[in-house]
Chain A
Amino acid sequence: MYRLFLAVRYLLTRPINLLGMAGILVSVWALVVVVSIFSGFLQQIELHVRSASADISVHELPAWAEWTPLERALRDDPNVADTARRLVHYGMLSRPGQRPASPPLLGRSALHGGDQPFLFVLGIDAAAEARVTGFGSWLENPEIPAELRVADRTRPLAADAGRPRVLVGLERLQREGLHRGDTVVLTSGRLQSEPDGQKGLQQVTLELVVAGAFKTHHGGFDGNNVFVDHEVLRAALFPDAPDGVQEIAVRCRDAATLDATATRLQRAVARVLDRGDDRAYGKVQTWREKNGQFLASVEHQRGLLKIVLIVIMVTAAFLMLATLSMMVTEKTSDIGILTAMGATPLGVLQVFLACGLTITAAGVVLGLLLGTVTSVFLEEIRQFVLWATSIDLFPLKVYNLDRVPCAIDPLWLLQVAAMALAVGTVVSAWPAWRAARHDPLVSLRGN
């Protein structure tokens, strides 16, 4: 009992111990906040990508691939809930009578693209798409102003008095000053076999009516793509392939087993497309695989930063070591008295170890708390700093974000806490051991 009692007394009567605690606190705080920003950033990007992707997509389909057999094969899989076919083409969108601008200068364009006049045209079946991807919610994104929303959400791409409709990303729509009902021209081309056996490019021009805006969380996706009705695009590009398909979006029942499902689907697709020519047609990828490279690079940066952050922890260890060993030096007479009163060296060791551990624990708890609170209110802090000093701590626009990202990973919090406690134990152990070995007679003899 006296151990804990003494440890608490020592701590309370010596404010300098607060400093040791502050060291742990600051290091835990920094570890939590900085890593939370990075994790949040990563999570945000994943979320952005996820919001614009199907669970699994089948692409790189050959020109002769047919939708019906593929769909049947995919739906045979127990984990496949639904599928939607897509045609993917390219083109340039311009207003009639106007010339498209040149592409932006590389170093001044958005980090993730989406501001080029050149874009991809997705031919989709709106109803199927809404079942498989977040298509429905893209149209209802609250950021879309009422006048740019699609009029008929159930049939957004239905022809307008015989003229096909197009859905354009919100930002592009606003940048180009387009409104619902405006006419735009999509200029593209299709390759066609010519008499000499070569393929020639035949111009395809589609006059489209703007149906409204869509918005995912993925700025690049919104900027790079427009949607038209599958049938419209097919008729223009592949008039003689009524069952043509270039990409299939797949929704799974169980999102946890995407990788296994993708492997199964890859086999199924290969079976359907097998022509006996030793070629494996079609590629099945989960949404994460499709964007793997970028996610990996952010993750790597987070890893590097973690290493650097450990430096703070080590410095904090110095601090604790200093305060605790000074306490032992100062308390040598107490140690003498304790021993005289019958305390064992182990008991003395425990007193000082308890001191160190209490300091560490307090630092960890406060650091975690403060770190979590700071992380949660980072955006508010950023805005306050911006308002007070007009310094922008985090250029959100560059990263296409609307607030400072933050994701508090409980596992990381646990890791930080465990690491700090381990460090605290090690640095408390040494002075405590020194105290235990202290010869009580030396201190009792006095100075």
Chain B
Amino acid sequence: MIAAFSPFLALRYLLTRRINLLAMFGVTFAVWAMIVVNSVFTGFVSEIRTDVRRASPEMMLTDLPLDTGYEPLRAALEADTAVAATAPRLRHHGLLQPLRVPKGLQPRTEAAELNFDHMESGFALLLGIDPAREEAVTPLRQWVARSEEVFALHHVMLPPSTVLLDPDPDRRAQLLLPDATEWLARRRAGLAVDTPKSEYRSAWPGVLLGWRRAPYTPWLREGDPIDLLTAASVPTTDGTPQLRSHRVRVAFAGYFATGYRAFDETTALLPIETLRTMFGQDIHDPDSIDLVTDVAIRLQPGLSAHAITAARDRLQRAAQAVLPAGSAPCSVLDWQQQNTVFLSAVATEQAMMQFVLFVVMLVAAFVIYAVLHMMVVQKWKDIGILSALGGTPRAVGAVFLLCGVVVAVLGTALGTGLGTLSALSLNDANEWLFATTGLELFPRRLFDLQQVPVRLDPAWLVQVATGAIVFAVLVALFPARKAARMNPVQAFAHE
């Protein structure tokens, strides 16, 4: 039971003491800041996670032994009802060296940079794919289409590559460029062309580069030849492994943009057959292995998280059964497990930010405590009167607790409202500020984003709001307890 005087008096105190407004604004400010900062930060993080998600297959079978073929794995995996499609992947590495380098620039045929990201050196993670199958598993076409948007953001007009749209499936599988394009590119590069343009047939397998390479080779045009330098082990007759160097000429087929920075920086997509040939597995050889290092998997839509976990274990067992006996265990990884290192770095930064926000909340709670504490100290006479009139200590404490609750609730409501409003109009404000003063609060270009990614998570709003109120109430308990424990006689004895 709440005695009637507690809310009554609490309301009177609140209305007559302006200092409570200050406490309320303190809470408002803290809640506002938490919502705005977190919605922007969550926006960034969810943007990053979306990008990583977009760049990664839903599931990936990996950690396969050397010389594993795709076909048996495909059969084993696709037999599972949860699997919608699979695609073969072959990972390797090498240097990409454009042949044609315009005047004034140096070909970097032999030089290498010692850089964190290798990009200047031409180092690339080569990812051999079967485009037709890959499209069924990852949004490959979307990756290519997105490059136009991303370049537009950097004020570069570059239409997306059309190699994936070639009507001929065999040409598509090789990522071949149109004959005329390659013919022209040959001429541009100063290579001998014996056949006339009309009879020329494209021969160079296409390579799709991550868009983040573009700044290092801005002159590259569709069809330009690139030398791919690498070494790969090939089978020998006597069974001893042998490494062989390779130089394969490929044609620049265009850029892709998944949005996942590391992927767009390092990866080059090329036909899986081109890579297999380097490993001595020629498709025309009937004994060749359809070599893979990973199998990308797309699951049926609409599976529950539980079903997905179950499918993961099932697929691992199915794949393991196909592998030669005694092989090291293979793994089936969901998209997050595929990117543990990167995602945990992101999570650390998010934790740091949330720690800062927690401190904000703490200081805001201090404000409520201070104001209530002072009120109790100043109102000791009233507390005595209330006791004399028959107020129980609990009810007397409740007066102050209620003050705290009202301040917290109003402050939180106001802060939540303002926070939501400013988060939603953040992009407009940013644009307006840029237009009028030329100042950019959030340098969007730096993050290759068209907008400041704001993500107002209703769950977070609820969390902040309840968190703020609970915090405030906890803090208000101390002054309230002090009031309840006050000896009423002292109020009169002081006279």
Contact = CB atoms under 8 A, between A and B. Distances in A.
B424 interface: no
Interface in B174-232: 191-192, 229-231
Contacts of B30: 311, 315
Most buried by B among A188, A197, A290, A319: A319
Contacts of A94: 233, 243
Contacts of B330: none
Contact of B360 (A62, A291, A315): A315
A201 B231 contact: no
Nearest to A300: B446
B143 interface: no
Contact of B371 (A111, A201, A322): A322
A309 B356 contact: yes
B243 A323 contact: no
A318 B22 contact: yes
A107 B348 contact: no
A34 B355 CA distance: 10
Given A201-B229, A326-B371, A394-B348, A27 B363 contact: yes
Contacts of A118: 93-94, 123, 230-231
Interface residues of B, number: 87
Contact of B367 (A237, A278, A319, A330): A319
Contact of B245 (A109, A188, A300): A188
A26 B110 contact: no
Interface in A352-405: 393-395, 398-399
Interface stretch (A2-10, A174-182, A219-227, A416-424): A219-227
B33 interface: yes
B441 to A, nearest CB: 9
Interface in A93-109: 94, 97-100, 102-103, 105-109
Interface stretch (B158-166, B259-267, B398-406): B259-267
Contacts of A188: 231, 245
Given A312-B360, A322-B26, A325-B22, A90 B367 contact: no
Contacts of A75: none
Contact of A318 (B25, B106, B267, B353): B25
Contact of A187 (B66, B104, B243): B243
A181 B132 CA distance: 49
Contacts of B366: 19, 22-23, 26, 319
Interface stretch (B3-11, B113-121, B282-290, B485-493): B113-121
Contacts of A225: 114
Nearest to A221: B114
Given A97-B240, A105-B91, A185-B243, A110 B341 contact: yes
A445 interface: no
B253 interface: no
Nearest to A205: B243
A319 B108 contact: no
Interface string B336-357: 0011111111001101110111
Contacts of B33: 308, 311, 314-315
B247 A201 contact: yes
A323 B359 contact: no
Give the interface SS of chain A, mostly helix, strand, loop or mixed: mixed
A208 B95 CA distance: 23
Interface string B392-412: 000000000000000000000
Interface in A226-277: 237, 246-247
B110 A89 contact: yes
A92 interface: yes
Given A203-B244, A311-B360, A89 B104 contact: no
Contact of B116 (A30, A63, A113, A330): A113
A360 B154 CA distance: 47
Nearest to B345: A398
A311 B360 CA distance: 7
Contact of B56 (A22, A107, A185, A322): A107
Contacts of B357: 308
Nearest to B99: A199
B155 interface: no
A91 to B, nearest CB: 7
Given A106-B267, A113-B118, 18 more contacts: A23-B367, A60-B111, A61-B111, A90-B112, A107-B338, A107-B339, A118-B230, A187-B243, A237-B110, A290-B114, A291-B115, A300-B446, A311-B33, A319-B370, A322-B22, A322-B367, A329-B19, A398-B341
9 contacts: A16-B377, A34-B355, A94-B243, A105-B338, A106-B263, A111-B342, A294-B117, A311-B360, A322-B19
